[in-house]
Structure 1
Amino acid sequence: MAAAADPDHGGVELVESEEPFRTNALLIILKALKLSHNRPHSFVFVDEILHSIFFLGNINTPPHSPKDIVNVPEVFEALLDCYPRPFKLFSSQVPKRSPFSCVLDMVVQVTREQEREQEERNIIRQLRNIINEVDPSGSRKLISSTICVSQRENSPLSTRYYGVSMSTHRRQIPIGASCLSNWQTFVANAVMTYYPHMTKKPYFDGTFTLKPEVRCVAFDLLREQEEEMAEEVVKPPCRSCGNLYGLATREVKEFTYGNCAEAESLSNLLRNERASTIISSRREYSERNLQRAKTQVENDLKSFLKMPQDIRVTFYTPETE
């Protein structure tokens, strides 16, 4: 296997591996460290990225330990010293989201500090640049293919909220975890209506309909050229997003419910704006059936994790510096 020196990573040698997971995992970690440089408030994102990657490495086939992933001794020791909790808890606690979602938050934070005028375009461009750096072999391991931008109304003055598609293998694990611990209630309930299968629960319907003035648009992150954003770049909603959020679409193909970037983007929108200004549907389920749905999601998540049903799932909370 060839070793290539990467000047952007302080002379660290990255070993090209036949296992794309390890290659992309280390590159994402190094990119996160670069984004966090001289930004103390980014500590929490790096902590969360490390735990999420180590957790996913642990359940990968074949499994990868933190030392397998961070196979540069000086980097490993420095991370272990600065971020001990991910190393300690990656095998016992479940991440609330994928590592690339944390990368998105870091990019949004940096871009909003620097480029307020062209925020949306610059965020998409920066993510594409990161993907080009992280994804040299063409593997999509740990890489999101889509970004979604949501706004309360399609106006330059309306705050934009971003989300990326699930970037992990065994997507049912981060989707279930996001439903129970991370996504805003309306989005979580909508996804739980179908999770983990493609069929709607007969006893629970948490889906909703966005108001017509809400902007919710997805873009492809895997395009090779950074062209001006034109209509052909827009990715139409899949049938799953139509069923969950009432998005108008002609698509008939259903993807895994909760996998699309719309879930995270709309969750961020609803968490920060009044729900009554966003959605037009009302709750049509009992509290008892809501609890039943949550219990079923947790039980399904335990099955995917091969956990005993009598043990409660514990979710990881990143540490602030």
Structure 2
Amino acid sequence: MSSGNLSTMQMEKEARRRKFYQDKIRNRESLKSCGMNLITTVEKTITNHSREAELLKYFNEMLHSIFFLGYIHEYRLHPKDFVSTDEVHRSLSCKFPEPFIMYNSHLPTRTPFSILLEMMEILYETEERIKQELAILLKSMKFPNPLHKEGSKYEQYYTLESTVICVCYSNLDSRKYYGASFCCRKGNAKTILIDLSCLKTWHEYVSHAVMSFHGGASGDGITFPTELKCRAFYRDWKENVYNEKRPCANCKKLFNLPNADPDKVEHPFGNCAETECLSKLLKNDQYMQQKAMIPNHSEEHLEKLRNSTKARLTVQLRKAGIECTDNNFLFYNPCVKQNVTIC
């Protein structure tokens, strides 16, 4: 090989290395700015609202979830990185000291966007109003498009926005349940949050199904009764509206949903918005609990899946700088006030 060709190859390699590094830095800065915008916008939205006292609990939880995701990012972010000034930092940390202290010791049970979606339910109640107001709120925060280049899975911004939301309900009951896809796109954050949800957040049927498909296993899907209605929506960036979309191939395997898109999906099992809303349905609808069927479900098998998940999660958390063992997983609870202060 000539020296000219070698020099060209070295230049191309160096260009790729710089591009890779720049993408990582952009990804970190995107998480930082989106976290800051989300905190500022949500605090402004709920201040002086008639249900402010109730909504502050969710805001507390959201702060912790954002700070946790910043901490486990490969270019670590701390709570102070998500606020604009020292004055804002002092004000927030005095009002909500727990998230500022427990972000790297206690584990979240859901993503910031899932918390935001539940706040929108409280604020607006009906499905159409929730979707409409959520789209308006997201546009006002000016989150970047999750894909830097259309169709490229390699150049994604870390926006904290879930690209898909979902609503499900039973024909026998008018109550609707909402869920969001996972907004943590980079590194091991998505794997960590899915595993945490399996262990703490989701109904045991959903947890069982998601854990059973890990690592390419054939898995145990849930079959729901025909009364189930489930619809997912994707935000159209140009029109800023939520349009309905078909379930993906993973949801077909997990939940036997009809009319699924057969195309291959890049995200892991558990990522989809259907997972969260169907879990809520199972937790609250006794008929669905009794009629839903999942093969191989037993306490013994579920415990085996949980132990495997705990072991994997412990390794992932250690890589992210959080030390846990199977016996000391500490989950963050905004309803439990701790005797802490940093004012």
TM-score by length of 2: 0.78
Question: Which string of whole-angstrom CA distances, capped at 9 and with x for unpartnered residues, describes residues 52-99 of structure 1?
Answer: 111111111211111111132221111100100111111111101101
User: 2:46 maps to which residue?
Assistant: 36
Question: CA contact under 8 A between 2:27 and 2:158: conserved in structure 1?
Answer: no
Deviation at 1:193, TM superposition (A): 1.1
Deviation at 1:177, TM superposition (A): 0.5
CA RMSD across the alignment: 2.3
Mapped to 2, the partners of 1:235 and 1:211 lie a distance apart of: 21
User: 1:270 maps to which residue?
Assistant: 282
Q: Which aligned pairs between 1:162-201 and structure 2 lie closer than 5 A?
A: 162-169=178-185, 170-195=189-214, 197-200=215-218
Please state whether the residue corresponding to 1:290 is helix, strand or coil: helix
User: 1:159 maps to which residue?
Assistant: 175
Mapped to 1, the partners of 2:289 and 2:224 lie a distance apart of: 9
Deviation at 1:133, TM superposition (A): 2.3
Cα 1:85–1:182, aligned 2, differ >3 Å: closer, same or farther? same
Aligned positions, number: 289
Is 1:106 aligned to 2:119, yes or no? yes
Question: Which string of whole-angstrom CA distances, capped at 9 and with x for unpartnered residues, describes residues 230-281 of structure 1?
Answer: xxx3211111111111112242324310000001111111111115467442
Question: CA contact under 8 A between 1:218 and 1:261: conserved in structure 2?
Answer: yes
Question: Which string of whole-angstrom CA distances, capped at 9 and with x for unpartnered residues, describes residues 145-190 of structure 1?
Answer: 001000112x8x7111111110113211111111111112221111
Q: Which runs of 5+ in 1 are unaligned?
A: 1-15, 113-118
Structure 2 letter corresponding to 1:27 = N
Cα 1:238–1:18, aligned 2, differ >3 Å: closer, same or farther? closer
Cα 1:135–1:311, aligned 2, differ >3 Å: closer, same or farther? farther
User: 1:95 maps to which residue?
Assistant: 108
More helix by share: 2
Identity %: 30
Mapped to 1, the partners of 2:284 and 2:45 lie a distance apart of: 25
Q: Which aligned pairs between 1:26-105 and structure 2 lie closer than 5 A?
A: 26-38=36-48, 39-105=52-118
> Which of residues 158, 162, 171 in structure 2 aligns to 1:144?
162
Question: CA contact under 8 A between 1:128 and 1:222: conserved in structure 2?
Answer: no
Mapped to 1, the partners of 2:290 and 2:238 lie a distance apart of: 34
User: 1:126 maps to which residue?
Assistant: 133
Q: Which runs of 5+ in 2 are unaligned?
A: 1-25, 146-156, 338-343
Larger gyration radius, structure 1 or structure 2: 2
Structure 1 letter corresponding to 2:248 = C
Cα 1:133–1:251, aligned 2, differ >3 Å: closer, same or farther? same
Deviation at 1:36, TM superposition (A): 2.3
User: 2:296 maps to which residue?
Assistant: 284
TM-score by length of 1: 0.83
Mapped to 2, the partners of 1:308 and 1:316 lie a distance apart of: 14
Question: CA contact under 8 A between 1:298 and 1:313: conserved in structure 2?
Answer: no
Mapped to 1, the partners of 2:27 and 2:104 lie a distance apart of: 24
User: 1:135 maps to which residue?
Assistant: 142
User: 1:261 maps to which residue?
Assistant: 273
Deviation at 1:126, TM superposition (A): 1.5
Question: CA contact under 8 A between 2:212 and 2:218: conserved in structure 1?
Answer: yes
